[in-house]
Chain A
Amino acid sequence: MGALNYAARIELSKGAEDNGLAGMVASLILQNLQDKPQKRVDFAKMRGRVAIVAEDARVAMTLEFQGNMLTVHDGIVGVPDVTVRAQSEDIIQMSLVELTPRLALPDFRGPALKEIMAKSRSGAIHVFGALTNFPLVFRLTRLLSVN
Chain B
Amino acid sequence: MAYSFPSDPWAAAYKVAINGNPKYATAGKDWTHGAVALLVKSDETIGIGADMAVLLDVHAGVCNAATYMTGEQAREKAPFVVEGPYDNWKKLIVENQDPIKALMQGKLKLTKGHLPTIIRYVESSKQLLASAQTVDTAFLR
Contact = CB atoms under 8 A, between A and B. Distances in A.
Interface of A: 18-21, 23-24, 27-28, 31-32, 35, 54, 56-59, 88-89, 91-92, 95-96, 146
A19 B106 contact: yes
Contact of B104 (A31, A32, A57, A96): A57
Interface string B108-122: 111000111001101
Interface string B80-111: 00000000000000000010111111111110
A23 B103 CA distance: 9
Contacts of B103: 20, 24
Q: DSSP class of B's interface residues: helix, strand, loop or mixed?
A: helix
A88 B120 contact: no
Contacts of B106: 18-20, 23, 59
A54 B98 CA distance: 13
Contacts of B120: 96, 146
Given A20-B104, A24-B103, A54-B104, A146 B119 contact: yes
A95 B118 CA distance: 11
Given A95-B119, A96-B119, A96-B120, A88 B104 contact: yes
